[in-house]
Chain A
Amino acid sequence: MNIVRPRPPRPAITGIGSTAFGVFPGEDAYSLGSTALRAAMREAGVRADDIDGLIVCRIPDYQRFGELHGLNPQFAVNLPGQGRMAAIALQIACQAISAGSVSTVALVYGNDGRTAGMKYGGEGDGYGSGGAGLWFPYGMTSPGAVHAMMFNRYEHEYGRAGDALAKVAVTCRQHAVLNPGAVMNKAYTTAEYYAAKFIAAPLRLFDYCLINDGGIALIVTRAERAGDAPTRPVYVAGVSTATQLAQSTFAPADYWYSGMRRAAAALEAQSGVAPKDTDAAMIYDNFTPTVLFSMEGFGMCGKGEAAEYVRATDLGLTGRQPLNTSGGHLSESYMQGWGMFTEAVRQIRGECGARQLKKADNILYTCASPIASGAIFSREAA
């Protein structure tokens, strides 16, 4: 259970950094993470000596990474390269700061998956509880196939989803077209979405996220220190996680709904803001069906109602709650949630150019997975 206490001061993000996104032979997770970290440190105006917590994700060795940057933090944590880890990193940082044990935490993500030839189906498939190799003889591999099965069952339970997946994919691409940093910048139509080949039917090519290289870093600090930074701080109003690990070799029959409901309730209790009332939703879009599942789990609509919600809702930049303003994992960059954090910060700061939202006071991040998670980024310190 997530424990709800009187609200402590909101930790502040005072610096972010990101690399370009694409294919970068010669780079690795260390160098990509390093580029991002140094950019974030410059923004936040912090030196190595100021960093008293280090959380690295998808970077093989925290020790080597710390040595490369001359860091001696109080604590160091290494999280594996899974999308569900982004909010966990933020949660660890915020809890450590709120507990008073540290002041400034560096969060660093480095992903050289594209250059390293990472594949999420076949021999390298590590998805699922303990890895997927057990099922290879049946040709069962890839998280995409698991999500294809979930969506197939979802449609059996709740009826055909119509063009909901297509609308999610097309909308994210439209947003990426307005994002100069996005890997994909060519719009496609709904007809082109349907014309693309099946990968694991019922899912097609554009239901799948990208695979690319890149790095992201954030500097999170205690609220009282936020004023020292040269940037406008963005506050973490809430961050929560809830797991469904029992029997998780197989996807749950509720599509992670119960975990997301727990995470959403904790998020609202911490932040005082309902996820559905935020100004934009950065929904972890590894595959288009998870966007539908997440809309239900985080209360944008009722259980089983996401397809109708998507049909009836403007998910674009002029809508009430725009979806994945950067283009998300489907079209901006596969930074496993981390790119959604930087997008939220940039939207609140007003740095998003052609895709800038008129109102960006509170921005939601959600992730549907065996570790459901959410965060709300806010312009306000309290």
Chain B
Amino acid sequence: MINPDALAPLLEGDNAPHFKAAAEGRLSVPHCRDCDHHWFPAAHICPKCLGEAVDWVAVSGRATLWSWCEFHRPYFKSLRDKVPYVVVAVTLEEGPQLYGNLVDTAPADLKVGMALEAVFTPAGDAGMVNFRAAQP
């Protein structure tokens, strides 16, 4: 269970490989060796071809901005001092979507469809995958 007073990704369960890889600076998602589909969150079969040849692979970290919102209400105690903060929904170059926090980028500069890149933020023994405007 996630501790609401000290939010950090879980290092157990189906998505643990994603957060462990992030701690090492890699963006890792499930991949189907049969049909080359990438997806997230984890699933034990490929949601596209229903094949079982599933492994975790590193992807580019290149993404586009699907949309975002700015949280003004702190739904968790540990976020009381952080509001307002931005959560972005992104589409990775390889297809899967992710939520993440916006870093090193002014919210006023956001535009749907803009190029983003993954940035890895340590969170205990895990890592979080956040996003910033793609650097030229």
In the complex, chain A residues whose CB is within 8 Å of the CB of B56: none
Interface residues of B in 24-66 (CB under 8 A from A): 39-41, 47, 66
With known contacts A134-B15, A137-B128, A149–B66 Cβ distance under 8 A: yes
Q: How far is the CA of A202 from the CA of B70 in the complex (A)?
A: 7
B47 touches A246 (CB 8 A): yes
**Chain A nearest CB: distance from B30 CB in Å?**
13
Q: How far is the CA of A125 from the CA of B99 in the complex (A)?
A: 16
Q: How far is the CA of A145 from the CA of B85 in the complex (A)?
A: 12
Q: How far is the CA of A88 from the CA of B112 in the complex (A)?
A: 35
In the complex, chain A residues whose CB is within 8 Å of the CB of B7: 136-137, 139
Q: How far is the CA of A137 from the CA of B78 in the complex (A)?
A: 10
A150 touches B67 (CB 8 A): yes
Interface residues of A in 118-132 (CB under 8 A from B): 119, 121-123, 125, 130
A122 touches B4 (CB 8 A): yes
With known contacts A137-B9, A200-B70, A156–B112 Cβ distance under 8 A: yes
**Chain A nearest CB: distance from B31 CB in Å?**
15
B128 touches A121 (CB 8 A): no
Using CB atoms, name the residue of chain A closest to B129. A138
Interface size class of A (residues with CB under 8 A): 35 or more
A250 touches B66 (CB 8 A): yes
A145 touches B76 (CB 8 A): no
**Chain B nearest CB: distance from A213 CB in Å?**
22
Q: Is A198 at the interface (CB under 8 A from chain B)?
A: yes
Using CB atoms, name the residue of chain A closest to B69. A148
Q: How far is the CA of A80 from the CA of B39 in the complex (A)?
A: 27
Q: Is A74 at the interface (CB under 8 A from chain B)?
A: no
Q: Which residues of A contact B (CB under 8 A)?
A: 119, 121-123, 125, 130, 133-142, 145, 148-150, 152-153, 156-157, 197-203, 246-247, 249-251, 253
CB-defined A-B contacts under 8 Å, sample of 13: A119-B75, A123-B76, A125-B75, A137-B7, A138-B128, A138-B130, A199-B72, A200-B71, A200-B73, A202-B69, A249-B41, A250-B97, A251-B89
